[in-house]
C-alpha cells in the first residue's frame, strides 16, 4: 500500500523561508513523514537573479532537492520561462536534473507501488 504525498505549490511564494524549519522537524521521530514535495513554479522566476536568490537556493537544499519539482504556473508563466529561471540558479547539474524531471518521475511513477 502506498503512502499519501503532499505537494506545496510555489513553495509558499515569497514566504518560502517558512520551510527552512523542515530539517529540524525531521529530527523528531515520527513527527513528519518524508512525503512532502514542493513545486517551485512562478516563485523560481521571481527568485532567479534577485537579492533573495541565495536564500532561495539554501531553502531548496534545506527542504531537500529530492523533494523539489518544477512546474510552469501556466498561463501566467510558461514552462520554458520556469526552466530558464531554474537554469540560471547556482545549483549543480545533478540538482537541476532532479528538479526538472527525476523527482517528478519518482513522485508520479513510484517503483514500489
pLDDT (tens digit per residue) in 31-77: 666 788 999 999 999 999 999 999 999 999 999 999 999 988 889 98
Residue 113 has a pLDDT of 53
Residue 72 has a pLDDT of 85
Dihedral sign for Cα atoms in the order 80, 73, 40, 108: negative
Contact by Cβ (8 Å): 96, 83? no
Domains in the chain with CATH codes: 6-108 (3.20.20.140)
Whether the pLDDT of residue 15 is over 80: the answer is yes
Residue 46 has a pLDDT of 95
Residue bearing the bigger pLDDT, 45 or 110: 45
Residue 2 has a pLDDT of 46
Question: Nearest 5°: CA angle at 22, between 68 and 85?
Answer: 30
Amino acid at each position: 500500500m502506498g503512502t499519501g504525498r503532499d505537494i506545496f505549490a510555489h513553495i509558499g511564494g515569497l514566504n518560502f523561508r517558512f520551510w527552512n524549519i523542515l530539517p529540524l522537524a525531521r529530527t523528531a521521530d515520527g513527527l513528519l513523514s518524508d512525503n512532502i514535495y514542493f513545486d517551485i513554479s512562478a516563485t523560481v522566476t521571481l527568485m532567479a537573479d534577485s537579492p533573495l536568490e541565495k536564500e532561495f537556493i539554501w531553502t531548496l537544499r534545506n527542504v531537500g532537492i529530492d523533494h523539489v519539482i518544477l512546474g510552469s504556473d501556466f498561463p501566467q508563466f510558461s514552462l520554458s520561462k520556469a526552466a530558464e529561471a531554474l537554469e540560471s540558479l547556482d545549483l549543480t547539474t545533478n540538482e537541476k536534473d532532479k528538479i526538472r524531471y527525476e523527482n517528478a518521475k519518482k513522485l508520479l511513477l513510484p517503483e514500489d507501488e
